[in-house]
Structure 1
Amino acid sequence: MQVARCFRFALIALGIGSVFPALAGEAQSKTFGWIEEAIIEPEAITVKAKLDTGAKTSSMDAKELETFKKDGEDWVRFMVELKDANTGEVSNSPVERRVVRRIKVRGAGGQESRPVVMMKICIGNEVYDEQFSLKNRGKMNYPVLIGRRTLEHLGAVDVSQTFTTKPKCKL
């Protein structure tokens, strides 16, 4: 929120806010919490997403990850495990995507290669076609991490807020 106000103030101070009032207000209207509800399309899978400024590429929890060839290209098949916020019931949804690239991820456990796929994800009232690395992340609280490559399209993140907007996208 503070960043959005500073951005708006800077636009007005430069005189841009008076010439482009919609641009000055746009930064203020696109502020998200550090955790948001999102929908993976076209499967219509609702997930909790953590907006993670420490990650460059977005990431998704992928259970039973298997690679296969389709029309001579590398593809992956995996399950997205969901826990209903109201009932606590767990369900699995199957997903298949073409692998667009592989990335090397370094962590405390060493280095590993992960497949990256394109996913459509609805956050707020926009659908974003973004890259997601896939990894079985165990029983993580947030099955989806939204990295900086996606965050640059979203807007500001207010770390004191969660679930600020419901996803409402039209496909």
Structure 2
Amino acid sequence: MLKSIILSIVLCLSLTFAHAADKQILKQTEMMTVDKSGLMYHARMDTGAVNSSLHAVDLTIIGGAAKKMKQNIGKTVEFTTENEKGEKKRMKAEIVSTSTVKNSQGTETRYMVNLEIGFPDALKKVKVNLRDRSHMDYKLLIGRNFLKKDYIVDVSEKKTIGPIAKLNIKQANLIYNTRIDTGAVENSLHAVNLRIEKEDKTDMENNIGKMITFTTENDKGKKVDIRTKIRGTSLIRNAQGSEIRYMVRLSVGEPGQEFLVDVNLKDRSKMSHKLLIGRNWLQGHYMVDVSKK
């Protein structure tokens, strides 16, 4: 009986993951279009909105408008839409319903029309409400009615990086031709001539918290001394055996986008890359594309 329950749970989880894997991952914003508009919009993904919304002004009900908005359902509305570049297009669509929206500004009723929106090669027909979005950053808002079943929104907006990248260490003001290594847990920096204040030469653990000064060098031969605090030690195992290295915290990243991360210190004189980036720098920030140059 227990075996059957476990098997059912595993099968259920497998189906869930398989279903999630079929969905396309979207960033918080994507370049999308509205069919027959010829316009590209910088569209905002909004999982908090039930329906999608398009910037529309100068609405005209063809054949004349009734006093109540609901009485215009079934009629054709003509409107002008505009993207973030200021490019405009006059469009027509059938009113299929009205939608009452409550927000911080109050309550308003909008016309709903069926439009094909999305990527130029992957359009999806959904209900879209028409409203004046002139004062909003995004003229096309993508709601749950577009996203459901087909898309997942990744709000982390991880950037893509190649197997080799030009990264800066802020404390050294040096650019390194850096190896990106998803197989490494930690980052590793070339460091020689280590000098520790009141060093205990018999037990590295006793030096944690002390100030260390070391010399680093990039691939162009530029050398700099860095002085910082020892944050810990790290046991590294590789094909050459095992060794314990000091860990320090440095600001590492693309120039102007550095962030603090732990780095182990190692004499990398005989290695091609004086800075190696591991998973503790990549995680939550970057995806690695090995085909990227």
Structure 1 and Structure 2 fold alike (TM over 0.5):
yes
Which residue in the other structure is 2:282 paired with? Answer: 151
Partner of 1:43: 172
For residues 7 and 40 of structure 1, what CA distance do their matches in structure 2 show? 39
> Which residues in structure 2 correspond to 1:136-147 (within 5 Å)?
136-147=267-278
Give the Cα–Cα distance (whole angstroms) in 2 for the partners of residues 63 and 115 of structure 1.
12
> Which protein has the larger Cα radius of gyration, Structure 1 or Structure 2?
2
Cα pair 1:36 1:50 within 8 Å, conserved:
yes
Shift in alpha-carbon separation, 1:140–1:78, aligned structure 2, 3 A: same
User: How does the TM-score come out when normalised to structure 2?
Assistant: 0.44
Alpha-carbon deviations, 1:51-103, whole Å to 9, x = none? 11011111111122232249x9422221111243xxxxx23111111110101
Q: Give the aligned length.
A: 145
Query: Is the Cα–Cα contact under 8 Å of residues 171 and 226 in structure 2 kept in the other structure?
Result: no
Of 169, 190, 194, the match for 1:65: 194
Is 1:75 aligned to 2:211, yes or no?
yes
- Bigger relative CO (Cα 8 Å, ≥ 6 apart): 1
**CA distance in structure 2 between the aligned counterparts of 1:42 and 1:107, rounded to whole angstroms:** 28
Return closer, same or farther for 1:106/1:24 CA change in 2, 3 Å cut-off: closer
Are 1:135 and 2:135 matched, yes or no? no
Q: Deviations over 1:18-63 (max 9, x none)?
A: 4257x65864x71111111011113311111111101111111112
Distance 2:267 2:171 in 1: 21
Cα 1:8–1:78 shift into 2, 3 Å = farther
TM-score by length of 1: 0.72
CA separation of 1:124 and 1:154: change in aligned 2, threshold 3 A: farther
1:9 aligns with 2:145: no
Alpha-carbon distance change, 8 to 35 in structure 1, aligned in 2, over 3 angstroms: farther
Instruction: Determine which structure has the larger helix proportion and give its number.
Output: 1
8 Å Cα contact 2:180-2:278 kept in structure 1: yes
In structure 2, what is the equivalent of residue 19 of structure 1? 46
SS of the residue 1:150 aligns to: helix
Superimposed CA distance per residue, residues 5-29 of structure 1 (whole angstroms, 9 cap, x where no aligned partner) = x8981459xxxx84257x65864x7
